[in-house]
């Protein structure tokens, strides 16, 4: 149930993000048309700044929702990573004790 709520929240945030992106593109195209006819538009710049701030807020919220969803899954995978640590340490010790120089000297002879 909780995973479904997160999935719906991510979908809603992505939809809002697409709407803002579409609005930004519309304002930019209007701004290009205004500039083609020699008009400047400070209103477009103000609207773009506001929409980009909203977009960044949505991206932050989307990242938080994604992080909260990953928190439960990473704890399950974390146990496997701890099992790899002793194996890696043993491999490092063996590599330090038995260097590959023996193989290189055998090839030279």
Section 8-14 average pLDDT: 91
Q: What's the domain range around 15?
A: 2-108
- Cβ atoms of residues 54 and 74 within 8 Å: no
Query: Is the confidence at residue 42, as pLDDT, over 60?
Result: yes
What confidence tier does 58 reach under pLDDT thresholds 50, 70, 90?
Answer: very high
Tell me how far apart the 2 most distant CA atoms of the chain are, in Å. 83
- Cβ atoms of residues 58 and 11 within 8 Å: no
- The total domain count for the chain is 1
């Amino acid at each position: 149930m909780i995973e479904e709520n997160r999935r719906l929240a991510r979908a809603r945030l992505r939809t809002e993000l697409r709407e803002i992106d579409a609005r930004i593109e519309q304002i930019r195209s209007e701004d290009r048309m205004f500039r083609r006819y020699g008009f400047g538009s400070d209103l477009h710049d103000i609207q773009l700044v506001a929409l980009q701030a909203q977009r960044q807020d949505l991206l932050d919220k989307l990242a938080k929702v994604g992080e909260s969803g990953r928190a439960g899954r990473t704890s399950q995978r974390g146990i496997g990573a701890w099992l790899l640590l002793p194996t890696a340490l043993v491999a490092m010790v063996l590599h330090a004790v038995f260097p590959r120089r023996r193989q290189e000297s055998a090839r030279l002879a």
